[in-house]
A and B are shown apart, each in its own frame.
Chain A
Amino acid sequence: MKRWLGPLATLSIAAIAAHWATLHYAPSVIMDRALLALKDRGIAEHAFTTPERITPQTQAVVRSSPDLFYSLCRYDLSQEGAVLDVTVGQWPDYQSLSFFDEATNNFATIRATGRNAQTYLYFDDGEQNRPDSLIPSPTKRGLVLIRRLAPTQGTFRAAQKVSEADSCALKTP
């Protein structure tokens, strides 16, 4: 019996470690795969890309809404001092600008119903003194997403037109 004590302790420790590691890394692995899939589907880095209207044939992300206009921008703030300059055009109905880090967390959202908006994003390494008006990104890579209420083909086209004023540009020192 005694000779099984060591293996049983090893089994318990391995189970706890694997359980914790799976939970800890699952969001990052899922987001990494999602970013890769979006890249493969032509979603640009440091520029907004507007996919086609969401249909069963065009959907790229689970649980996308066919009633919304989505515009996506992948970002990478690895370069020291880099800042992402994000602007959304004016839209008369609901629109929002949301930011997601590498672990899928929605760390910031700006609602811009009936107006345009501009903000800046930087990688929060905990050492920089930045103005409060800038948004800190918890991770170097992530995703910016514009949602606009556009439930019909007509409003979707109008949202596409407005998207010409959207920008997602990397500024480096």
Chain B
Amino acid sequence: MMGTIIRYSLALIIGSALGLSSALYMAGLWPGAKPLDFGDVEVDGWRSDFAIGSKSADPYTRARVARHGLLALAKSEAVYFTRTTDDSGDLLREECDYRMVGGKMPANWWSITLYDARSLLPMNEDKALSIDATSITGDPENWSVLIAAQPPEQQVDWISSRNAGKFDLTLRLYVPDEALIADPEASFTSPAIERLSCEGESQ
């Protein structure tokens, strides 16, 4: 009798743990998982969940968005793309400097913001954690931004990665063009991210 109780108790505990952990993992909520690598749209390494904010979002997407995109808008109002790697496929990190190059965006207004691994703005006082359509100083159809932990020596647009560790970039496109929603791969030329150098590397 005691053996039966133990077997059923163990089954309950192990089953619950398996169910809980598999749900957390599949929804991108498991510690160490990379929830931003999920998504149903990818354009040159920039990933997006077009199901965000919609009632049709599956439970996995809803759980993931609730944790990492809380209070995000539906795609008719805003589209969010996130990039975690440079053009070589390596993770973006504070120890490296990058050049991001882009052009005209398919939306009324756009911004690109840097977040750390906890989905928070990194703790620094550089006041350089994003760029947007109104702050770009170069040609709006062919702009360039330096992403680095230290301010640039020359006068160029800069996003600070100081104290960010491994980070990602979120591109917000407000009031996106209909073509972007219909066919993102065809209508969106995404910003490229070239790694310039890394700490400890010979130039």
Known A22-B23, A65-B111, A65-B130: A98·B73 in contact at CB below 8 Å: yes
Total A-B pairs, Cβ < 8 A:
169
Q: B72: nearest residue on chain A (CB-CB)? A: A106
Residue from B4, B15, B22, B69 having most chain A Cβ neighbours under 10 A: B15
Residues on B with C-beta less than 8 A from A30 are 63, 66-67, 70
Q: Is the CB of B73 within 8 A of A11?
A: no
Q: Is the CB of B71 within 8 A of A61?
A: yes
* 9-residue interface stretch from A51-59, A77-85, A128-136: A51-59
Cα distance, A54 to B127, chains bound together (Å) = 10
Please give the number of chain A residues whose Cβ is less than 8 angstroms from any Cβ of chain B in the complex: 55
Q: Is the CB of B59 within 8 A of A14?
A: no
State the Cβ distance, A101 to closest chain B Cβ, in Å: 10
A109 at the interface (CB under 8 A from B): yes
Q: Which range contains the number of B residues in contact with the other chain?
A: 35 or more
Residues on A with C-beta less than 8 A from B20 are 18-19, 22
Residues on A with C-beta less than 8 A from B70 are 30-31, 34, 61-63, 104
Which A1-35 residues have C-beta < 8 A from chain B?
3-4, 6-8, 10-24, 26-27, 30-31, 34
* 9-residue interface stretch from B38-46, B117-125, B178-186, B188-196: B117-125
Q: B68: nearest residue on chain A (CB-CB)? A: A62
- Contact residues of B with A, CB < 8 Å? 4, 7-8, 10-12, 14-20, 22-24, 27, 29, 53, 55, 59-60, 62-63, 65-74, 76-77, 108-109, 111, 113, 115, 118-125, 127, 129-130, 132, 134-135, 170, 172, 174-175
- Contact residues of A with B, CB < 8 Å? 3-4, 6-8, 10-24, 26-27, 30-31, 34, 54-57, 59, 61-67, 94, 96, 98, 100, 103-107, 109, 111, 113, 143, 145, 147, 149, 151-152
Known: A26-B27, A106-B53. 14 other contacts (CB 8 A): A6-B8, A19-B19, A20-B23, A23-B23, A31-B70, A62-B68, A62-B70, A62-B119, A63-B70, A64-B121, A65-B111, A66-B121, A67-B113, A105-B53
